[in-house]
A and B are shown apart, each in its own frame.
Chain A
Amino acid sequence: MINLMINNKSISVPKGSTILDAAKQNGILIPNLCYLENIHKIGSCRICSVEVQGAKTLMAACMTEVKEGMVVNTKSDKVIKARKVLYELMLSDHSKECLSCNRNLNCELQKLGDTLGVEENRFKTSSARHHLDISPSITRDLSKCILCRRCVTVCNEIQGVGILNAQNRGFDTVISPSLELPLNSVKCAYCGQCTVVCPVGALKETDSTQRVWQAINDPNIRVVIQAAPAVRVALGELFDYPVGTSVTGKMAAAMRALGVDDVFDTDWAADLTIMEEGTEFLNRVINVLEGKPAVLPMITSCSPGWIKYLETHYPELIPNLSTCKSPHMMLGALAKSYYAELKGIDAKKMFVVSVMPCTAKKYECTREEMMNDGMYNVDAVITTRELGTMIKQAGIDFRNLKDEKFDDPMGYSTGAADIFGLTGGVMEAALRTVYAILMGKNLPFENLHVTPIVGLEKVKHASIKLEGVLPKYKQFEGLEVKVAVTSGLAGAKELMDQIKAGVSPYHFIEVMGCVGGCITGGGQPRSDDVNVREKRMSILYTEDETKHLRQSHENPSIEKFYEIWGAPNCHKSHEYLHTHYKDRSDLK
């Protein structure tokens, strides 16, 4: 332990703590901005400057480790004055259009002004940056950027995508892809993790709410809406529920209250995905076992950020990707075919909206591969945050809504679908079904959770030995199925390099573009709770465990669907529920 004094208070903290940690643990809050616990520590904003006795300059509390006998003052005259000037300087290079900003009242810079008590703004100068970059998923407004570089850290170190970086220097520095190219011309995965950490309105999802409002308010259009599993565990945060509150029923009610015609659940399509993807996997393995050409390991394809990353960085591994569309695309495709036929609706007059925890899905729904019968499967994707905004715009009193259910026939789901929203979930759901099909019994894990692939480690793996398979699948007898799971693109890079090097031991790999999976996707509410992942994750597991049915193949409405549709991986499935990918490595 290290003993030091902060503001005349003797404290002791573990070795390696920073002044900021030490102060916080002892009830002293030091204002800070660029720092993001566990993620980003660079000391660029200097707001957390404190006075350390004997030091020539003020020290950045977020970067400075405590030392034995250190004497710190976090509120001396010098400190208060310097912080105010720094804040004024920061404001001077910021567009300050607060009232018309996406982050109004939800902005860390605004809050900081309040904390510092700044009442002056002596620099009447404009900002250096005024560039607006609108990609299908992400909008960058550089006039608001304060160069905290949180986005640079997540893009490079956490996601390993590495397209955002500081360009130019000094006052002309911008955070941007190289050569200040727009996002849509570079290898951006559109994961949107940058939009989650941005403290101001510089990075956000590209707005789709206007188009959705237009469709809702057009009486000739039938609006179908669906929400991904991860949305329900985070939406509540936008209405002041604590992190880790599930609001499934209120969410369904709110969506209906917006004025849409059908409220479906992407979870239903998740169960469907398992049927399609599980079958695809079994077929690939059978082909291999029979010596026919097939590519293993197979890699999941639900995460569009991940898909774009692979298409740009590992185009040679496209054959490894499952051809399944992501669940919401499947639902969209079926809404305009299966459902439209069922109800006798003109599919051309349908407008499918997906509420997603994801920004990459905004791009995904614009891909030309995601069309059937000349129509896009999904017409608009809004993020969880955008749904929250729409609910507020519509004047819906969210907290006082009564729980409602999703509509049939695409509203019922099993527990396996819920865990699609977290890392390891797709794999677990698939294993539950594949194992049951092959073995005729349930997965031999307590509570059906494949524990080795649960959690937040970068790369997780598991193997399941198949002993006593059903006679129908006797060629599988004795096979040890090896799977790997990763979330965050940095981990995916490791696994892909293994495949490229020909040393991958795996049969099946799940990749989620964002660390922790969709629960902390790029479209999810921003949270200052460092345990946000764990909390949202546990809710999804609870949802799963409390469901009556927990394996996708048991979903009766899926069974019913296949009675009409045919079988998984049938010709029609291939047309509507599967897709193909493109080499996009020519992007910069």
Chain B
Amino acid sequence: MKKITNFQELLDIKQEYIDKQSKYEFNVLVCGGGGCVSSNCHEVSLALKTQIILKGLEEKINVIQTGCMGICAVGPVILILPQRIFYTELNPEKAIDIVDRHLIKNEICTEYTFFDNAFQKRVPCIDDIEFFKAQTKLVLDNCGEIEYDNVDSYISRDGYQAAFNAIKGNNPETVIKEVEESGLRGRGGAGFLTGVKLRSGFMQESKEKYMVCNADEGDPGAFMDRSIIEGDPHSVIEGMLLSAFAIGAQKGYVYIRAEYPIAIERLERAIAQAREYGFLGENIFGSDFSFELDYRIGAGAFVCGEETALLASIEGKRGEPKQKPPFPFQKGLFDCPTIINNVETLANIPKIIRKGSKWYSGYGLPHATGTKVFALAGDVVNTGIIEVPIGTTIGDIIYKIGGGIPNKKQFKAAQIGGPSGGCVTKDNLNVPADYDSLNKIGAIMGSGGLIVMNEDTCMVDTARFFMDFIRDESCGKCLACRVGTKRMLEILERITDGKGEEGDIELLEEIGETIKLTAMCGLGQTAPNPILSTIRFFREEYKEHIEDKYCRAGVCASMFTSPCENTCPAGINISGYVSLIASGRLQDAYNLIMQENPFPAVCGRICTRPCESKCRRGTVDEAVAIRELKRFVSDYAFKNELPWKIQMTFPRKKDKRIAIIGAGASGLTCAYYLVNIGYEVDVFESESKAGGVLAYGIPEYRLPKAILGHEISLIEQSGVKIHLNTEIGKDISFKQLREDYQAIYVATGTQFPQKINIEGEELEGVIHGINFLKRIHHDPDFKLSGVVAVIGGGNTAIDSARTALRIGASKVIVLYRRTIDQMPAYHEEIIEAQEEGIEIMELVSPLRFIGDNKVKEVECVKMQIVNFDSSGRRKSVEILNSNFKIKVDYVIPAVSQYADLPFIGKNEITQTKWGTFVIDNKTMMTTMPGVFAGGDIVRGPEDVINAIADGKKAAINIDLYLGGNGILNKGEKIEIPVVYDNDEIVAHNQFEKEVLDPETRKNSFDEVVIGFHKLNAIAESMRCLHCERR
């Protein structure tokens, strides 16, 4: 082939290629990225080509293979030009269908196009897909758009023009200056200024100099460099050529890892093509400049990404780093000045030279210009390769481009920078992804690996994983890294194995700091980062592992029997009672639940069931309906009334009396367990009925009063004395209580509705949620009429809305400031409310209530979603001038509740600014000796199961405080049958339960959910995978 020596030749090739492509009616771009290759894009490509030939369309349709399009999760993918229709998750059958329908009949096959999870719809045109829309592609602009295997294709995109002009101009200074002014920083990790590097290479006086490309991309889950080389190899070659020219190097190497066979193959061919055109070799473009480029395959040592180790490896030596200085630019490959840049950095250079530094520095931040490619992996909807301007927030990357966290799980953290990096938590979702901001929070930009982790991730285990990786990859040269990482790993292993010891966290920090300070190379110096970072943000989790032997994520298997039991705050033996149901021992199942929770019927109805979110069956089809099974056995037990009798094996401790303030779930649970180990317990309740928020806060249709009353009566039967209508501070002084009782448990909950503090809140017709529900409870004849607006998105808001509907409202509107999917209320309640005809207006916030005496209108403003708040949810802010009014007859603000206890002065006991009590997390004691607290008075408005768990934990601690051994009396041990069926698991969703239809239920307070039929209950129980069997 003719060597290119003048510019016109480049332009001719470009024109020729463009002409050839535009001849075709359709260009079908098949993604040939590593991900799509793995999901068999070749079959799709073959099917397309075959079908095109069969239909005789070769002249009209051109099928070309491109590099990675980025959205690897939905591969194989193709893009059809000119309409830019994007088809995903293809197979040969679909491909043939696309030829027949799209390419022949010009009909878009919508059902194969991209499905946007967030919006729950198909988006056919690639340019409308949020994943692509939110990106800015500078480095990746050719990837997925051009033929990786055709140098002409690269030239058609103005490729090699920059190199031509620079080399023909024969002034390295122009290249160096342009790169300097662009502000480009190394994309490999440390972010060193590329221009400074090139200049220092240029300044070195030496006959021999080398240019090296670091393509040893070793971070787990990172594949940016691979995608660039696979999709646009010539951009890297041209970047090498320009850099080599700038520093005066005659020889260059691409050091690429052996694990990238496709990239190696494509690079090799690209080098050969470049050589044929004379872009490499002697007298390039007819100039005096000669440059040879070769590649070296690394054997897969992570440390060889460290520049000195990489050079040693190219030299054929053991890949170990050397102490710096001397730096490679002084004494590098074969002791000659050497400049090393990573793939992404190099791929930027041709564009910077061609389009100018001004153009480039227009992207990104002033001190970190341009874009950064990230490999998005882990618990995120759209995994793949993305490119964004530097400074884009982590939250935007994860939610806007990544599409958020799948399966309705919570975001927990993102590991950025690979094993050398750190984690980003909910608090830091607004942190811009740039070198300095990430450094400040203990993470690094690194090469751009971004692994998203959801609530099911144990951070200690994650730290262990990274340390295991690093320990494995440490080269072993310096002591700090070689032994330090091993010892850190051992400590982490013992913590995750339930053998953590006090002082382990501090020891980890001490070794970690020492390694950071003393290790020889970058690998070692950053090795402790994931550990130090997780300790920084998740110290509590470490402590739980060490002190409580508890792994909240249910990952560290040695600490629990099954994920469901581990997640249940009350620690109910779930797999146990499910087994009992499966074997028909329903009463025993009930008894087993009662051992840990005296409110099975209540929890069987209204528990938030964290257990089900961790159920492993959910990974097969649907979680086991654990709550519904609980309800089933408690209903069964009540129907077949066998009064719960506990064996009194504990001696009475008559001398010790305990007072409990508040007869809610927490107080009664505490009382129940204390009575059962022999204490005399008095429960004081200011209301006329026991049950607290269970009694007056939850509507009848969700929790019938009779059911609650029954469970309370069983607690009373066990010996708990409940004093109703007895308010502390009024009927009995707190001081008196402290004198008469040896210990007090405060479990009053949060009784006061939080005001929203806007104009008109005092108007008639404005009833706050908790007061509204209480009123129904006291006054069953209370009625409403007309339009009711409920404000809020929690359970109280939904309960109020559904109750309002049931007592006569003609129309109920729920106003919520965020979107429906972010409402904290139970998902099914929201659905049921909507089924009953309740309207939910999302992204709306009230500004004022208007009316003379009685409220008549609510003035609202529209909201929009912006940054993330510290809970990982996006904040909503008002849209200016979007005010509108709604005519109403009643308004029920239901945003939150707070506590305010009249009997204890704020100066007597330490409280938070929300009025909740500060307690010692271990002992549950407040700052007042002998006074314990739990439930909502400590947590703020929370789930009932947590209140129950607190009550139980308080009973243990009160017993310990009073000199007992802290062992509760839970009755006789119940043998659990082995019911596990070793046969193949047949996929089956949850069995049906009976529910009242919306028309019937919306006018009555009858319980909406009727529950399982016995047959379905037993069948459902058999869906359990029995994770406890290990």
Contact = CB atoms under 8 A, between A and B. Distances in A.
A395 to B, nearest CB: 40
Nearest to A168: B476
A170 B486 contact: yes
Given A170-B482, A170-B485, A44 B475 contact: no
A63 B518 CA distance: 13
B301 interface: yes
Contacts, number: 105
A85 B510 contact: yes
A166 interface: yes
Contacts of A46: 478-480, 518-520
A93 interface: yes
B480 A86 contact: yes
B517 interface: yes
A57 B320 contact: no
8 contacts: A45-B478, A60-B323, A89-B479, A93-B486, A146-B479, A169-B474, A170-B472, A170-B486
Contacts of B516: 57
Interface residues of A, number: 37
Contacts of B487: 89, 92, 123, 125
Given A81-B514, A82-B518, A85-B514, A166 B483 contact: no
Interface of B: 301, 303, 318, 320, 323, 325, 471-487, 490, 507, 510-511, 513-514, 516-520, 525
Given A82-B518, A86-B518, A93 B476 contact: no
Contact of A122 (B301, B480, B507): B507
A147 interface: yes
A171 B483 contact: yes
A172 B483 CA distance: 10
Interface of A: 42-47, 49, 57-58, 60, 63-65, 78, 81-82, 85-86, 89-90, 92-93, 122-123, 125, 128, 146-147, 149, 165-166, 168-173
B514 A44 contact: no
Given A169-B474, A170-B473, A171-B471, 20 more contacts: A44-B477, A49-B517, A57-B516, A60-B323, A60-B520, A82-B514, A86-B479, A89-B483, A89-B487, A89-B511, A90-B479, A146-B479, A147-B476, A147-B479, A170-B485, A170-B486, A171-B476, A171-B483, A172-B476, A173-B475
Contacts of B511: 85, 89
A169 B485 CA distance: 12
B483 A93 contact: yes
B493 to A, nearest CB: 11
List 5 A-B pairs, minimum CB-CB distance, nearest first.
Answer: A173-B476, A170-B474, A85-B514, A171-B486, A89-B483
A170 B479 contact: no
B568 to A, nearest CB: 36
Contacts of B482: 147, 170-171, 173
Contact of A125 (B323, B490, B517): B490
Contact of A65 (B303, B325, B471): B325
Nearest to A125: B490
B465 to A, nearest CB: 16
Given A46-B480, A171-B485, A86 B514 contact: yes
Nearest to A43: B323
A43 B520 contact: yes
A93 B481 CA distance: 13
A175 B486 CA distance: 18
Given A45-B478, A85-B511, A171-B482, A166 B518 contact: no
Contact of A166 (B320, B325, B473, B485): B320
Interface of A is mostly: loop
Contacts of B480: 46, 86, 89
A60 B480 CA distance: 12
Contacts of B520: 43-44, 46, 60
Identify which of B320, B475, B480, B507 gathers the most chain A CB atoms within 10 Å of its CB: B480
Nearest to B478: A44
A165 B471 CA distance: 20
Contact of B525 (A57, A128, A173): A57
B517 A82 contact: yes
B483 A58 contact: no
A85 B479 CA distance: 11
Given A43-B323, A45-B478, A57 B483 contact: no
A165 B318 contact: yes
Contact of B517 (A78, A165, A166): A78
Contact of B518 (A57, A128, A149): A57
A64 B487 CA distance: 28
A412 to B, nearest CB: 53
A303 B721 CA distance: 99
A63 B476 contact: no
A516 B16 CA distance: 73
Nearest to B477: A44
Nearest to A60: B323
Contacts of B490: 123, 125
A86 B303 CA distance: 21
Contacts of A169: 301, 303, 473-476
A145 B477 CA distance: 13
Given A44-B477, A170-B474, A90 B483 contact: yes
Contacts of B514: 81-82, 85-86, 89
Contact of A43 (B476, B478, B481): B478
A109 to B, nearest CB: 12
A170 B480 CA distance: 11
Contacts of A147: 476, 479, 482
A283 B484 CA distance: 64
A265 to B, nearest CB: 46
A369 B303 CA distance: 49
Nearest to B511: A85
Contacts of B519: 46, 57
Contacts of A146: 479
Contacts of A85: 510-511, 514
Identify which of A78, A92, A122, A169 gathers the most chain B CB atoms within 10 Å of its CB: A169
B968 to A, nearest CB: 36
Contacts of B484: 89
A81 B517 CA distance: 11
B318 to A, nearest CB: 6
A45 B477 CA distance: 8
Nearest to A91: B483
A63 B483 contact: no
Nearest to A128: B486
A147 B507 CA distance: 24
A166 B476 contact: yes
B303 to A, nearest CB: 8
A525 B779 CA distance: 101
A146 to B, nearest CB: 8
A58 B472 CA distance: 24
Contacts of B476: 147, 166, 168-173
Identify which of A43, A44, A147 gathers the most chain B CB atoms within 10 Å of its CB: A44
Identify which of B320, B475, B477, B518 gathers the most chain A CB atoms within 10 Å of its CB: B518
A332 B935 CA distance: 92
Nearest to A173: B476
B189 to A, nearest CB: 14
Nearest to B319: A169
Nearest to B484: A89
A69 B486 CA distance: 38
B471 A170 contact: yes
A141 to B, nearest CB: 18
Contacts of A123: 487, 490
Contacts of A128: 486
B517 A63 contact: no
Nearest to A94: B483
A169 B475 CA distance: 5
Identify which of A86, A128, A146, A171 gathers the most chain B CB atoms within 10 Å of its CB: A171
Contacts of A49: 517-518
Contacts of A81: 510, 514
A165 B518 CA distance: 23
A25 to B, nearest CB: 21
